[in-house]
Amino acid sequence: MNKKQNETASELKLPAFKNERIFPGCDDPKVKQAFPRAIAAVRKKLGKSYALYIGGKDVVTDEVIDSINPANPDEVVGRVCQAGTKEVEDALIAAQNALPSWRDTPPGKRAEYLVKAAAIARERIYEFSAWQVLEEGKQWAQAYNDLAEGIDFLDYYAREMIRFGQPQDMGSYAGEINQYFYQPKGIAAVIAPWNFPFAISCGMCAAAIVTGNCVVFKPSNQSPVVGHHLVELFSEVGLPAGVFNYTPGRGSVIGDFLVDSPKVSIIAFTGSMEVGLRIIERAGRTPENQPCVKKVVCEMGGKNVMIIDEDADIDKAIPAVLYSAFGYQGQKCSACSRLIVLDKIYDEFVPRLVEAARKLKIGPAEDPENYMGAVIDQAAVKKILEYIELAAKEGTIALRASVPQKGYYVPLTIVEGITPEDRLAQEEVFGPLLAVMRARDFDQAIEWANSTRFALTGGVFSRNREHLERCRREFRVGNLYLNRGCVGALVKIQPFGGFKMSGVGTKAGGPDYLLHFMDPRSLTEQP
Ligand code: NAP
């Protein structure tokens, strides 16, 4: 840790972190004007080609995929070049070449790049959101809030790096001076899902970059155009060549290669349990030419649950359950997919919930009248429909909404009569299917809530203080919400992430997140 590095970490003075304002509402005058305008402008740019970005240069490949609008599969959002293993290797070499100088760039300077990128994303928030509406089928609010979260990650991690960039004085012994400080791990492979295509990608990349690592970023092949927004941001702020590399490609073609590479020191992954566990297993193998043990930051799926206690405020609980279960078509890692309703309130609550759900409009996300839109692709349609068939066998269908013919729609579905032994109570269904369970009493509700392999989010509606306190102790999930829905965590104030099969216990947007990307060092000097 040289003197210059210390000085620059402390020299950058930033105001205290403040969360970006979340979506102001479809009726907000600015929103009403800006969203349709942004969608129309983006629509004129559809079908463009996107190159890879390696060592600060665009790289064109022969293989290209079409990224399409799930609400209208005839509409090609972008044509995206595909990285093969050669391009991934080139990106790793570019990252390796950039590492010595980036590692020694003062933390405050690295943080400055993030703050600048946040400012640009804020300027372009409607435009970037519009791309998500068309590429991912996100409603206005969902797209806007994804951008707001990404901006928060940039701003928050910049401030966090200034905090960690200061060496800590550990006290003196026998006249010696002792310091504690951090260095980056090296090259980070960032592997992202499509459902928060800006926020999660941006958060993982920003954390790796600001801590001094160089990044090879593989977006999901369902959101590569939004993934390219990071190329735009990071090149516009002048991030040195090779610090951030963009290599879209099929997970099945380049995933193992990237994960297995001895050049990689840390893998930041968010996605399904199946892929996450595979990555953890492969990253544990250490060939002779690998200089370090790989670290895996791994955020995985959920089987999230809300409990409706017998004295719950029904008027408040119904919209919260609907939004948690069916917002963005239930395609959130945090989405509520099990609803445990206490026997005493069940016959009043569930029919009202079903009636409210029946009224929700379903259609293209770009029309703000629609509450729910299309799911991400044809494979998702097939998988969710299989689960809806299973629902009819394991329980009783209370609602199966009708949906538009064209586009990747699946019916919003509510199924009753599910118990913990059912597959529907155990397996993650990434779509708008809510399994309702009738619990005898609060003991059983808590037991059922904790009865899956996952532990990501949970919620409870209750007016009983003792029950709420009990949930705090016994309802074991990464993010627990009392008397509100179980989605929509905010950076810094609600650090997000789960444990058990939902993750390795890391919290995105939390006070210890950056530490995963660094190795601590201790220094002792005799005067
Ligand atoms: P996914 O299928 O696991 O894919 C995630 C990423 O891994 C994609 O970029 C994918 O590439 C890549 N991949 C696929 N096979 C790979 C391999 N063998 N090696 C390395 N990478 C590989 O998940 P998804 O469908 O994108 O996202 C939905 C899942 O993510 C859900 O389970 C959800 O709960 C979870 N999620 C969790 C959180 C959280 O914070 N805990 C947040 C969001 C989402 P391709 O796109 O090319 O397949």
- Interval between CA 298 and ligand 1 midpoint (Å): 10
Q: What is the pLDDT of residue 12?
A: 83
Pocket flag, ligand 1, residue 503 (CB < 6 Å): yes
Give the residue numbers annotated as catalytic, written as ranges: 299, 333
Q: Which of 200, 216, 270 to mutate to test the pocket of ligand 1 (most atoms within 8 A of CB)?
A: 270
Q: What is the pLDDT of residue 5?
A: 47
CB atoms within 10 A of CB 235: 15
Query: Residue 508: CB partners within 8 Å, gap ≥ 6?
Result: 153, 200, 203, 204, 299, 491, 495, 496, 497
Helix, strand or coil for residue 71?
coil
Helix, strand or coil for residue 192?
coil
Helix, strand or coil for residue 247?
coil
Pocket flag, ligand 1, residue 203 (CB < 6 Å): no
Pocket flag, ligand 1, residue 195 (CB < 6 Å): yes
Pocket flag, ligand 1, residue 20 (CB < 6 Å): no
Query: Would you state the structure tokens that stand for residue 359, as one six-digit string?
Result: 């009224």
Pocket flag, ligand 1, residue 513 (CB < 6 Å): no
- Interval between CA 190 and ligand 1 midpoint (Å): 11
> Which protein residue's CA is at the shortest distance from atom 22 of ligand 1?
251
Query: Would you state the structure tokens that stand for residue 169, as one six-digit string?
Result: 């004085």
Strand order in 413-416's β-sheet? 396-400, 413-416, 433-439, 336-342, 304-308, 457-461, 479-482
- Interval between CA 299 and ligand 1 midpoint (Å): 9
Reading the chain (527 residues) residue by residue, the pLDDT tens digits are: 444 444 455 568 999 999 999 999 999 999 999 999 999 999 999 999 999 999 999 999 999 999 999 999 999 999 999 999 999 999 999 999 999 999 999 999 999 999 999 999 999 999 999 999 999 999 999 999 999 999 999 999 999 999 999 999 999 999 999 999 999 999 999 999 999 999 999 999 999 999 999 999 999 999 999 999 999 999 999 999 999 999 999 999 999 999 999 999 999 999 999 999 999 999 999 999 999 999 999 999 999 999 999 999 999 999 999 999 999 999 999 999 999 999 999 999 999 999 999 999 999 999 999 999 999 999 999 999 999 999 999 999 999 999 999 999 999 999 999 999 999 999 999 999 999 999 999 999 999 999 999 999 999 999 999 999 999 999 999 999 999 999 999 999 999 999 999 999 999 999 999 999 999 999 999 98
CB atoms within 10 A of CB 243: 25
- Interval between CA 270 and ligand 1 midpoint (Å): 6
Q: What is the pLDDT of residue 2?
A: 47
Geometric angle at alpha carbon 269, from 263 and 273, rounded to 5°: 125
Pocket flag, ligand 1, residue 227 (CB < 6 Å): no
Q: What is the pLDDT of residue 10?
A: 53
For ligand 1, what atom is nearest to the CA of residue 498? 41
> Which protein residue's CA is at the shortest distance from atom 35 of ligand 1?
271
Residue 305: its H or E element: strand 304-308
Pocket flag, ligand 1, residue 149 (CB < 6 Å): no
Distance CA 496, CA 287 (A): 33
> Helix/strand/coil (H, E, C) string of 341-403?
EEHHHHHHHHHHHHHHHHCCCECCCCCCCCCECCCCCHHHHHHHHHHHHHHHHHCEEEEECCC
For ligand 1, what atom is nearest to the CA of residue 496? 40
